[in-house]
Amino acid sequence: MRFAIEHIRTPRAPTTLSRCATSVILLFLLAGCTQRDAALDGNGVDLQIVEEKLGGETTAYTVNRSAFKLSARNLSTENHRTFKVGDSFFNQNWITAPASAAGRDGLGPTFNAMACSACHPDDGRGKPPHDEYDPSRGFLIRLSISGPDGSDQPIDEPTYGGQLQDRAILGVPAEGSILIHRREWRQQFADSTYYTLVEPTYEITDLALGPLHPDVMMSPRVAPVMIGLGLLEAIPEADILAAADSDDHDGDGISGRPNMVPDLRTGQTVLGRFGWKAGQPTVEQQTASALRDDLGITNPLFPDENCPLPQRLCAAAPNGGEPELPQSRLNKIVLYTQTLAVPAMRDIDDPEVLQGARLFVDTGCASCHTPSYTTGEHVVDELSNQRIYPFTDLLLHDMGPDLADNRPEHEATGREWRTPPLWGIGLVYTVNRHTRFLHDGRARSLTEAILWHGGEAEPARERFRRMSVEERAALVRFLESL
């Protein structure tokens, strides 16, 4: 049995459905109709959100610790060979230059991790450290100050750059350490059941070159899951922009905005899709940025070492070439990150999952977590023309003061975050043995993640808070099936 439901907030997008049509579909569902072919609107648009193949023909069916590590299932033999080479680069530890291992040296001089997989274990999700002795990677702090003359566009913190590097090669000091202080809040659902939320605050200690700028802005980030990035890249820009409603002209309280960002490859300003604030436009640019900023590996898009002017020892350290990662190897890592398979949805005939899917729509979650798209043409042919179910609109939304980092990024304000995809979210514990969610990992469960939603998402959060215990469990159960 598969129920078919979808609700998007504006009829302007090709993949969207009006509120009235949504009500009809919900009535259709509640009446118990099970005919999938009947779940079409007047234009024949597929409305289902309960679908096994979340990634279209790229979908994988593995549900163990390797669930995020598989290649797209439809890859050609040639692309699969490149995928395997990219996999080795993604998982290798970089070492200090100069070294006899040509092609693997150039780490740092300052850095956050020694390998991409250190931040994305098993291509999964990072988490915030428990304390200063926790060796896990996958968490960092972005740094910036306001631009010249009070410009809205921030610039790097002058001494420590755009990101705190808490590790360094021999002979170069690490920039500092991160301490997280946590305060627990006790609150109630409408049925008087208690729950707690944990609010983190951040302190940077052991600073190697004196204090931070007095007006520094800090933004904590955890490393996201890597699956399906090429599919998100393949969504036609017009489909995403058609759903934007910056001034909330339809009056539904949702005003998704695109983050228009520079594309370093073309020199144009284009739609941002990747990163917690959609600050990067392509998988290549996101990957190249992470290589330089997180590992200290220069590459054709980011050829300069991450050594702010005051850091003379950093600037004087030997490197592994200029750039340290040539374009040919960058291409292989990019294809790897583009073609990691999305796991299939599970338990699609479970009545609780189906109830949760209806509640997901009825509560308003799908207003930002857009269920489905059809991809356009992509340089990796296997990603083209796929019906996918990422549950994101890739737009920016004001999430309220509690989640604000108060740090702009291109056109994103300090209260705005990109809607994260939900596919694979139910397998995070299986792969990474934790359930830490949101941009800084503060939420300890999917329930807490929902309860932290504010701003444009506050009405949906309040509907969730007023649900019965059984309804809340069903909605979470639906998310866990993705």
Tokens found for residue 115: 């390998």
SS3 242: helix
Cα 380 to Cα 397: distance, rounded to the nearest angstrom: 30
Please report, in tens digits, the pLDDT of each residue of the chain (482 residues total): 333 333 323 323 333 333 333 333 333 333 333 222 333 333 333 347 899 999 999 999 999 999 999 999 999 999 999 999 999 999 999 999 998 887 899 999 999 999 999 999 999 999 999 887 888 899 999 999 998 876 678 899 999 999 999 999 999 999 999 999 999 999 999 999 999 999 999 999 999 999 999 999 999 999 999 999 999 999 999 999 999 988 888 888 898 999 999 999 999 999 999 999 999 999 999 999 999 999 999 999 999 999 999 999 999 999 999 999 999 999 999 999 999 999 999 999 999 999 999 999 999 999 999 999 999 999 999 999 999 999 999 999 999 999 999 999 999 999 999 999 999 999 999 999 999 999 999 999 999 999 999 999 999 999 999 999 999 999 999 999 99
Evaluate whether 247 touches 450 at the Cβ level (below 8 Å): no
Query: In this structure, is the dihedral angle defined by the CA atoms of residues 389, 391, 392 and 393, taken in order, positive or negative?
Result: positive
Q: Is 17 exposed, middle or buried (0-12, 13-18, 19+ CB in 10 A)?
A: buried
Report CA 473 to chain centroid distance, whole Å.
24
Evaluate whether 342 touches 228 at the Cβ level (below 8 Å): yes
Cα 270 to Cα 285: distance, rounded to the nearest angstrom: 12
Half-sphere exposure (Cβ direction) of 295: Cα atoms closer than 13 Å: 32
Please list, in sequence order, all residues whose beta carbon lies within 8 angstroms of the beta carbon of residue 180, skipping any fewer than 6 positions away. 128, 129, 131, 200, 201, 202, 203
Lookup result for tokens 């944990």? 198
- How many residues in the chain? 482
- Where helices occur in 61-196 by DSSP H, the ranges are 77-91, 116-119
Q: How far is residue 40 from each of residues 17, 20, 45, 140, 339, measured CA to CA in Å?
A: 10, 14, 5, 45, 30
SS3 86: helix
Tell me the one-letter amino acid at 60: A
Question: Model pTM?
Answer: 0.90
Cα 441 to Cα 224: distance, rounded to the nearest angstrom: 10
Give the CA dihedral 119, 419, 182, 460, nearest 10 degrees.
Answer: -150
Query: In this structure, is the dihedral angle defined by the CA atoms of residues 48, 49, 55 and 61, taken in order, positive or negative?
Result: negative
* Residue 252 DSSP class: S
